[in-house]
Amino acid sequence: MSDDLEVQRRQIAQLLGDGLATQWQHRAYDDAEIARVLRNLSELAPDDVAGKISISGFTLNPYIGNEDPDLEQACSTCMYFEAHRRYCSLPELKLAAEPKWSCVLWRI
């Protein structure tokens, strides 16, 4: 399993590094936005990695917004990040992740 996660981590990094557009600007801070993102994710095939990272607004770096410039939103500080596996356990995502990455569903 850890080998599969490493392959997926490289795939995600490659997709983002190659410029895959993600919806990172549309932060899911309220219930309606969270529900919208989760609904869109639930419509994807479980193995649609590109779709998942696009809809969830994955980035290779932590998000630091104007709303609180002192708050760094990174996978490592999200309640769904499993540090020992470097994995996002959010049921709609279930993706390999790096601690410094981020998504719009941070800490939901």
How far does Cα 87 stand from its chain's mean position? 10
Rounded to 10 degrees, the C-alpha dihedral 85/90/92/93 comes to -40
Q: pTM, whole model, 2 decimals?
A: 0.90
| Cα(107)–Cα(26) distance, integer angstroms | 15
Distant-in-sequence, close-in-space partners of 18: CB < 8 Å, separation ≥ 6? none
**Domains of the chain by residue range:** 2-96
| Cα(18)–Cα(64) distance, integer angstroms | 22
Considering the chain, what is the average pLDDT of its residues? 94
DSSP assignment, residue 82?
E
- What are the pLDDT digits (tens) for 52-84? 999 999 999 999 988 888 888 999 999 999 999
The mean pLDDT value for 24-31 works out to 91
The mean pLDDT value for 91-97 works out to 96
- Percentage above 90 pLDDT, the chain: 86
Q: Which residue has the tokens 């596996």?
A: 85
Residue 71: per-residue pLDDT: 85
Residue 23: per-residue pLDDT: 95
What φ, ψ does residue 37 adopt, rounded to 5°? -65, -45
